[in-house]
Structure 1
């Protein structure tokens, strides 16, 4: 993280961060705050979410939090309205909340398939719908959705998850076309293996799979949530003012 909050590339902006209680979301929230943003943090569980917000506050950053489930439209609308009420505006959003799901496509239960779609696809759509509602009224805004390198290619053992991450890219590209005339940019980040609790779930679901991907990565390492956050911060900032509809891999060169 570079600069100071008073001179950071997100200085004066308000950024909504979904899935902010752990992993990429929590790390990215700290990056955004460090670049000068006021952040509204969102997750389903109060305790860990409040801990992240409190820690940012103790460091002198401006942060608040709201509990909600992004697969429920009423929750998302309430969260976006609460952000406007708290900060007076919404300049950026980082739609990061999501689930992982291991198993061959023919082994995934219908309930599990519905569950991952409800969060990873419907949830992103609901976030976009409510964020765009207020950004369109303001005439500007920047949204970064989180997909995965699994949304750029296929591999065995993660079919339901990969289907949702392909869908996030489709939603992003359509939203960029629909909302560009209103001054709103929409982009998507595709992380490779990133050291988070979700990566540990993948390690358990597909033994050896994560290590094989890291070995095939030119930089020979997994990424960090902060590295993903830095890429997102740039996309959210005015430095990327002519960038929209882009899929940005943050994967150490794996997709090269």
Structure 2
């Protein structure tokens, strides 16, 4: 496959890059010649993905990062800048979820979902944006979810956090367009990741129903979501900002 020449020598930071969609994004960018900083709470997974990226002939850095903590994110961003000298692309892919009816959830779960799924995006954007403004441009792609667009049974709080990511993405895109910075979101449907396999335990019927409701009758593969992220991160999407691209096999259409 021909690479996107416009991406070569760019530098990307991917949060949640140690597994699932984040891993697929980091490796898809590396395949295009992008130098990648792979950030993850599980440092050993970040190291493994960084080594895979290096095997593709690009520079890569593994960063232990807890997106719930602004100081941890700031340290990781400074380390990436020290290693690469710039950051052209930020992909916020760190996320978590738990399936349960809202009335069976508690505040501890709410706080965890908000801290990872929403505040994690805020922390990363807050840390990276001053550098993008100073260098005169950059691209941010936030991983939202179709649950944030239409809601999902058993995921009320998760849906709320992803809806917040979508609204934040649109508002931020308006604020930073003047600096040459684009901000978009990718909203996957059910995707074949380690997180989904954990979530579906005890809820097989729910996930089977979602697959049946999907016109393409299957789960997304992480690599399919990653391709959408790569496109939005690339100069080929140079006039696209504040948008939400659904990658859901037609599960939602609007």
TM-score exceeds 0.5: yes
TM-score, scaled relative to structure 2: 0.96
C-alpha contact (below 8 Å) 2:99/2:155 kept by paired residues: yes
The alignment status of 1:151 with 2:148, answered yes or no, reads yes
1:173 maps to 2:170? yes
Superposed structure 1 runs of 4+ greater than 4 Å apart? none
Unmatched tracts of structure 2, length 5 or more: none
Distance 1:242 1:60 in 2: 30
Q: Quick check: 2:30–2:56 contact (8 Å CA) kept in 1?
A: no
| 2:71 paired residue among 56, 74, 88 | 74
The 5 A counterparts of 1:1-256 are 2-4=1-3, 8-204=5-201, 206-256=203-253
Supply the distance in 2 between the matched residues of 1:105 and 1:161 (Cα, whole angstroms). Answer: 10
Question: What's the CA shift for 1:59?
Answer: 3.2
Secondary structure (helix, strand or coil) at the match of 2:201 reads helix
CA gap of 1:205–1:147, structure 2 versus 1, over 3 A, is farther
- Measured after TM superposition, the shift of residue 106 of structure 1 is 1.4
Deviation of 1:8 (Å): 3.6
3-state SS, counterpart of residue 182 of structure 2? strand
Task: State whether residues 157 and 206 of structure 1, in contact with CA within 8 Å, keep that contact through their aligned partners in structure 2.
Answer: no
Cα RMSD for the two superposed structures = 1.2
So what's the TM-score if we normalise by structure 1?
Answer: 0.95
Instruction: Find the aligned partners of 1:43 and 1:113 in 2 and give their Cα distance.
Output: 21
Aligned-partner Cα distance in 2 for 1:156–1:250: 19
Aligned residues: 253
Query: Is the deviation greater in 175-184 or in 208-217?
Result: 208-217
| Post-superposition CA distance 1:10-58 (Å, at most 9, x none) | 2121011110111111111110111111100000112121111112213
Matched-pair contact (CA < 8 Å) for 1:194–1:222: yes
Give deviations 1:136-182, integer Å, cap 9, x for gaps. 11110000000111011123211111111111101101110111111
Counterpart secondary structure, 1:115 = helix
1:9, distance to aligned residue in structure 2 (A): 4.1
- Looking at structure 2, the residues matched to 122 and 52 of structure 1 have their Cα atoms a distance apart, in angstroms, of 24
Contact 2:8 2:32 in 1 (8 A): yes
- How far off is 1:205 after superposition? 5.2
Q: Secondary structure at the match of 1:98?
A: coil
Give secondary structure in 2 for the equivalent of 1:208.
helix
